[in-house]
Chain A
Amino acid sequence: MSSKTELELARIEREHALFLLREMLRIRRFEEKAIEMYSLGHIRGFLHLYIGEEAVAAGAMQSLTRDDNIVATYREHGQALARGIAAGSLMAEMYGKSTGCSRGRGGSMHFFDASRRFYGGYAIVGGGLPIAVGLALADKMLARRAVTACFFGDGAVAEGEFHESMNLAALWKLPVLFLCENNLYAMGTALARHQSQTDIHLKAEAYGVISETVDGMDVLAVESAVRRAAEFVRESGHPFLLEIRTYRFRAHSMADPDLYRTKEEIEEWKKRDPISVFEAYLRELGMLADDDVVRIEAEVAAEIDEAVAFAEAGTWEPVEDLLMDVYTTTGLPD
């Protein structure tokens, strides 16, 4: 956790601190509800949870404006919630309902909301990076002063698309904020087993891209690092790579027995739980009382319950509509 001096420098206000706590709790409780609904069979397919990484999305999203673009991965529930997409439309998407943010056509890995410039979860590792370059290219061509924030995992840096995209963004001076969520595992393969250079941020140097690392378990540190990085990208129009070091407490997906890491390692990281550590810190500063926690939890619980109700009330897309939007014209030859 940040020292008091850093905190003073950040001029953290109680209201904002409680907001960040609340954002992280919204993500945590949403994910816990997703587990429940998955085990009840309401959510099908593949489910990748963000539990443990909440400080990343909650901290990062604070410096991104409504005009900025977001590109995320298949573990994107946290970013979508922090971006302000209604929890109900996300839950409905996971239920497969037509009221979901992708009309039930995508599911957990494919959240999308163009109205919030949330240009998608990408279920192919590394796939979002060249798209982010294109969003930024268009912004530059259209003289829009926006930042494209592109989240990706440590696994993605092994893909050619990472290297092609870093090079293009630097070569063409495009305002892309590359946000690497390094949770130390490419699914079940540890970082040191899949990267020759485990300090991911160092890869940026080869492309002439400025980079930094930040503790992804500390929401204030993430917020402040992303603010600086986003300002740099916005002012200079150049890309920036921020490596955010984090950890997922749950397995890769619901299907993963999590046998590639030790219980001790997981327990050690859980001591750095971004929510409980931040909560304790705010209590220590006298910014947070039991009443506040009870109130925030109740509000979050109500939001999640409402999201579930919204998902359950949603309808399925009729099969007659299946051909719709495969092409612009629905009249495919029969």
Chain B
Amino acid sequence: MPPITLLEAIRQGISEEMERDSRVFVLGEDVGIYGGAFKLTEGFIEKFGAERVIDTPISESAIVGAACGAAMMGMRPVAEMQFIDFISCCFDVLTNYAAKSRYRQGVGIPIVVRGPCGGGVHGGPFHSQNVEAFFLNTPGLKMVEPSTPYDAKGLIKAAIRDDDPVLFFEHKLLYRNPKIKQEVPEEDYIVPIGKAAIRREGRDITVVTYGAMVYTAMEAAERLEEEGIEMEVIDLRTLQPFDREAVIESVKKTSKVIILHEATRTGGMAGEITAVINEEAFEYLDGPVMRVTAIDTPVPYAPPLEEFFLPQVADVLKAARALARY
């Protein structure tokens, strides 16, 4: 098998699940004849037919609402948000319905709502966001964001098989990035939801991150190695529920932590992870938990502004050097 892109990995994962389980179907804006705005479901309508690859109007509430109703009847819908930013249009269905159904009435909603997230492509304020923090405060939803093709395929399959609603974020900058192409196994496999991966081991500083920022962290780690600082890079892969054990274990080893994410700062994942570290590993800390995140503004369009807005390798290096001296 030749190495594949992250986009191809997700495509294969969904396709294999549709072959494996007739209850799985996809729906969304332009997912059929057009093949998806990012061409992720290209060829699906020919392969699976219009009944299982459903083109919808631009109606996010009805797309996700219909997915919920169908899931309640035993189906396994995979709904696409053309850009993950548009998920705000179906906030009610996700937070008030999908997230609470099992708790309230004992009937689970096994849906996957997936779509491209993230900036760096000059998409401006409405096509570049990372939306995890909108949903972090809603118990009942799971959230996943892969950084590698192997994980992307294994996680989308796990998400489709999961009995809970899963929001699946795909960084659009990684979709076709040739540098991260990977060979994936031919045989069926999943990557379990809730488990982080250690991308690089190190004893001095832990970086907890996910999505495209994994590569920012890795680049920073290589530079720091030249300075004699060993950085451990943890890729969360699942944001909710995140792998506390992996984070705490690493903190106990390094005693210094940076949390790095592309989403804006206030009320984000980093704050939550910091709180958990404070509660569970405070005595192990040899310095303040540091956040490297986007700045608290909408995502700017102008390239120099967007570059300033997004966390860069230099920002990680700065935080790491400060922590190393601490």
List the interface of chain A (C-beta within 8 A of B).
102-103, 105-106, 110, 112, 114, 119-120, 122-124, 127, 129-139, 141-142, 160-161, 164-165, 167-168, 171-172, 325-328, 332-333
- Known contacts A130-B66, A138-B69; decide if A120 and B105 are in contact (CB<8 Å): yes
Q: For B62, give its contact among A105, A123, A168, A328 (CB under 8 Å).
A: A168
Whether B102 contacts A325 by the Cβ 8 Å rule is yes
Whether B73 contacts A130 by the Cβ 8 Å rule is no
**A160 (CB) vs chain B CBs: closest residue:** B61
Chain B, interface size: which category?
35 or more
B92 / chain A contacts, CB cutoff of 8 Å: 124, 127, 161
Q: For B69, give its contact among A134, A161, A326 (CB under 8 Å).
A: A134
Whether B105 contacts A141 by the Cβ 8 Å rule is no
Q: For A124, give its contact among B96, B102, B139 (CB under 8 Å).
A: B96
Whether B103 contacts A161 by the Cβ 8 Å rule is no
In the docked arrangement, what's the CA distance between A333 and B72, Å?
A: 27
A136 / chain B contacts, CB cutoff of 8 Å: 69
Whether B102 contacts A134 by the Cβ 8 Å rule is no
Shortest CB-to-CB span from B272 to chain A, Å, is 12
Q: For A137, give its contact among B57, B66, B74, B106 (CB under 8 Å).
A: B66
Whether A105 contacts B59 by the Cβ 8 Å rule is no
Q: For B70, give its contact among A102, A135, A165 (CB under 8 Å).
A: A135
A164 / chain B contacts, CB cutoff of 8 Å: 57, 59, 61-62, 65
Q: For A325, give its contact among B62, B103, B162 (CB under 8 Å).
A: B103
In the docked arrangement, what's the CA distance between A124 and B93, Å?
A: 9
In the docked arrangement, what's the CA distance between A139 and B70, Å?
A: 8
Whether B66 contacts A168 by the Cβ 8 Å rule is yes
Whether A326 contacts B68 by the Cβ 8 Å rule is no
B162 / chain A contacts, CB cutoff of 8 Å: 328
Shortest CB-to-CB span from A321 to chain B, Å, is 11
Judged by a CB distance under 8 angstroms, whether B64 is at the interface is yes
Judged by a CB distance under 8 angstroms, whether B67 is at the interface is yes
Interface string of B71-96 (1 = CB under 8 A from A): 11111000000000000000011001
Whether B66 contacts A133 by the Cβ 8 Å rule is yes
Whether B105 contacts A167 by the Cβ 8 Å rule is no
Whether B102 contacts A165 by the Cβ 8 Å rule is no
**A146 (CB) vs chain B CBs: closest residue:** B73
B241 / chain A contacts, CB cutoff of 8 Å: 327, 332-333
In the docked arrangement, what's the CA distance between A161 and B62, Å?
A: 7
Judged by a CB distance under 8 angstroms, whether B265 is at the interface is no
A325 / chain B contacts, CB cutoff of 8 Å: 102-103, 106
Judged by a CB distance under 8 angstroms, whether B56 is at the interface is yes
A332 / chain B contacts, CB cutoff of 8 Å: 241
Whether B72 contacts A102 by the Cβ 8 Å rule is no
Whether A130 contacts B64 by the Cβ 8 Å rule is yes
In the docked arrangement, what's the CA distance between A138 and B76, Å?
A: 10
Whether B103 contacts A105 by the Cβ 8 Å rule is yes
In the docked arrangement, what's the CA distance between A332 and B102, Å?
A: 15
In the docked arrangement, what's the CA distance between A238 and B244, Å?
A: 50
Query: 19 more A-B contacts (CB under 8 A) besides A105-B103, A127-B65?
Result: A112-B104, A112-B105, A124-B96, A127-B92, A130-B62, A131-B72, A134-B68, A134-B72, A136-B69, A138-B70, A138-B72, A141-B75, A164-B59, A164-B62, A165-B65, A168-B62, A326-B140, A328-B102, A328-B164
Judged by a CB distance under 8 angstroms, whether B108 is at the interface is yes
Shortest CB-to-CB span from B15 to chain A, Å, is 19
In the docked arrangement, what's the CA distance between A119 and B140, Å?
A: 19
Whether A105 contacts B104 by the Cβ 8 Å rule is yes
A124 / chain B contacts, CB cutoff of 8 Å: 92, 96-97
In the docked arrangement, what's the CA distance between A172 and B25, Å?
A: 15
Q: For A114, give its contact among B25, B56, B69, B107 (CB under 8 Å).
A: B107
Shortest CB-to-CB span from A121 to chain B, Å, is 10
